[in-house]
A and B are shown apart, each in its own frame.
Chain A
Amino acid sequence: MNHDTRQKILRTFLQNKAAIVGLVLSLIVVFTCIAAPYLPLPDPINQSMSLRFKPPSWQHPLGTDNFGRDVLSRVIWGGRVSIVVGVLSVVMAMTLGTIIGLVSGYKGGYIDNLTMRIVDVLMCFPTLILGILFMAALGSGMTSLIIAIGIAIAPRFARLCRGAVLGVRQNDFVEAARSMGMSDLRIMFRHILPNVLGDVIVMGALWVGAIIITEASLSFIGLGVPPPTPSWGRMVREGLDFMGHAYWVSVYSGGAIFITVIGFNLFGDGLRDILDPKLRQ
């Protein structure tokens, strides 16, 4: 990509208001969560029975929960889990999927046939169900969440990457590289990979939001990060039991998920509009 194209892409991005709103929203969420230890927030874990179910006020802008913990503080601390899992799962799925897709698309033949069959079948299962299954296999915890969700969606990246590789493989420069005696590994990673990376990154950006939802769903079921570490999905679940007199626990923690996900979705959508050559024409 030369300087001019880069300039053009940046300009198109700056014209896309929705994408900028998305970027700003995601950055605010990410930085607030990173800054959690330095913000003047009450402890998210310490319980105080005298403060149970306090409605939103100046002291507790989003109220307190059944253990007297400040909901705002728990929402901000809980975001750390969601963001880390969201981003790292995508990175993991991207890496895994890209490698599988590269090898499968480049090698072709029975390797391609076999991997794509497996990918097809894995894509038959709803992502959440696969996530549940892998979580059950790995046990609860943040690392398990990242691995479980990463593996569950990697097939989608493999499928996309393989399709892109099939297109790039036809190019003369690949043939030229081969005739110069370059190794397959070098051709795959130095010559083909840079040409398919754009597609993979766009898809990654589009998936961060969906993964944050998946993570929240798993914690909602009780398969996420174990308590007392706050996580959005479980906060919504816990709040459901006392919706009648303390709606704020569920509603605000769910609202945090919504704001974060819509930020990432707007940004991902904008990124696709800019980088997708089919839409650019």
Chain B
Amino acid sequence: MIAYTIRRILMAIPTLWVALTMIFILVRVIPGDPTSAVMGDYVTEKSLEVLKKQMGLDLPLIEQYGLYLYNFIRGDFGNSLITGAPVLKELKNALPHTLELTFTSLLIGMVTGIPLGIFLALKRNSFWDYLGRFFSLAGLSFPSFYIAVLLILLFSMKLDLLPVMGVGATGDFWDRMHHLVLPSLTLGLLMMSYLTRMTRSTMLDVLGADYIRTAHAKGLERKKVIFKHALKNASVSIVTVLGIYAGILVGSSVMTEIIFNRPGLGSLIVGSMLNRDYITINSIMTVYAAIVIFINLITDLSYGLIDPRIRYE
């Protein structure tokens, strides 16, 4: 397992490097000169030159690229073009809010979606199956921001139970949780729909396999067949989709953060996009890529744990 872990970690490094290179290229494709965005329209040529030099934009592209990689390795993300504050500090403030939201939503989705999917697979083609399938497909057809709108309407405006805006007072754990309910419910419902569908279809695949029929035929009790034989074999696929959807979740968190006014990565990237704050955009994209690569790594590692055969490939 240790050799496998090390091999997987080493394989993530070139992916991260390609991601960094692509971000570098993509961000430079965005039109609009960042220097004029910082200084506004009334600016002399000379002060533009000075700022360009400060930002390292006067260097040849290849040198900019080298410097960019070097700074990344040192953990120096530069300063925001708009506020002048170190981007790393802004990221440090924003990241916990995004992670907190993503993690709780994933948890809600897993706790509800996976058991529901197993249940539907066992009740294949029954009334419950049709109902569950319809609701999970309906869940996928809601834009996350619309789920948020409906939840706000019900829980904040009609029932006046939950807050709509912000993340709560720092240090007050219950206030934070109170503010987290609606956003994480928004994404949790989405996640639940995804996971219900995938767990159902994976379980159906496995339940049709020969070894399950054998297990039934040799007289094993139903519970054992389902939980020990079927679920164990289905779990590799479930973990795969869990990894994929965790990535999707990170993307959907952008909308949720904006609606609920949570100062996370999503709010930060949209804000910097409107201000053309190159350096911040660059860093947030890097963080997003790093998160997804990290999720993929965890997914790969859990394969190895679940299915020992994979370790020896």
Contact = CB atoms under 8 A, between A and B. Distances in A.
Interface in A107-145: 117-118, 120-122, 124-129, 132-133, 136-137, 139
A92 to B, nearest CB: 18
B4 interface: no
Interface stretch (A2-10, A52-60, A191-199, A249-257): A249-257
B195 interface: no
Given A132-B269, A136-B30, A258-B141, A126 B254 contact: yes
Interface of B is mostly: helix
Contacts of A125: 251, 285, 288-289, 292
A240 B18 contact: no
Interface in B113-150: 134, 137-138, 140-146, 149-150
Interface stretch (A33-41, A62-70, A164-172, A212-220): A212-220
B289 A124 contact: yes
A247 interface: yes
Nearest to A122: B22
Interface string A164-202: 000000000000000000000000000000000000000
A133 B26 contact: yes
Nearest to B146: A254
A96 interface: no
Contact of A213 (B29, B143, B157): B143
A225 interface: no
A241 to B, nearest CB: 12
A84 interface: no
Interface in A204-239: 209, 213, 216-217, 220-223, 233, 236-237, 239
B141 A124 contact: no
Interface residues of B, number: 45
A136 B138 CA distance: 31
Given A120-B15, A262-B141, A265-B140, A251 B273 contact: no
A236 B141 contact: no
A271 interface: no
Contacts of A251: 149-150, 153
Contacts of A269: 137
Contacts of B276: 136
B248 interface: yes
Given A132-B273, A254-B149, A127 B251 contact: yes
Interface residues on A, range: 35 or more
Nearest to A17: B130
B247 interface: yes
A121 B145 contact: no
A209 B15 contact: no
A250 B143 CA distance: 13
A221 B270 contact: yes
Contacts of B255: 128, 217, 220-221
Contact of A136 (B134, B137, B273): B273
B250 interface: yes
A14 interface: no
A257 B146 contact: yes
A124 B252 contact: no
Contact of A216 (B31, B143, B254): B143
A266 interface: yes
Contacts of B259: 240
Contact of B143 (A121, A124, A129, A254): A254
Given A124-B292, A243-B153, A251-B153, A217 B145 contact: yes
B19 A262 contact: no
Which of B26, B157, B248 gathers the greatest number of chain A CB atoms within 10 Å? B26
Given A133-B30, A244-B157, A266-B137, A128 B149 contact: no
A240 B285 contact: no
Interface in A30-54: none
Interface in B240-295: 247-248, 250-252, 254-255, 258-259, 269-270, 273-274, 276, 281, 285, 288-289, 292-293
B225 interface: no
A126 B140 CA distance: 16
Contacts of A118: 18, 22
B15 A137 contact: no
Interface in B11-69: 15, 18-19, 22, 26-27, 29-31
Contacts of A237: 145
A112 to B, nearest CB: 15
Given A124-B292, A213-B143, A262-B138, A250 B269 contact: no
Given A126-B288, A257-B143, A121 B137 contact: no
Query: What 4 pairs between A and B have smallest CB-CB spacing?
Result: A126-B251, A254-B146, A262-B141, A261-B141
11 contacts: A117-B15, A121-B15, A121-B19, A125-B251, A125-B285, A216-B145, A217-B145, A247-B153, A254-B150, A255-B146, A258-B138
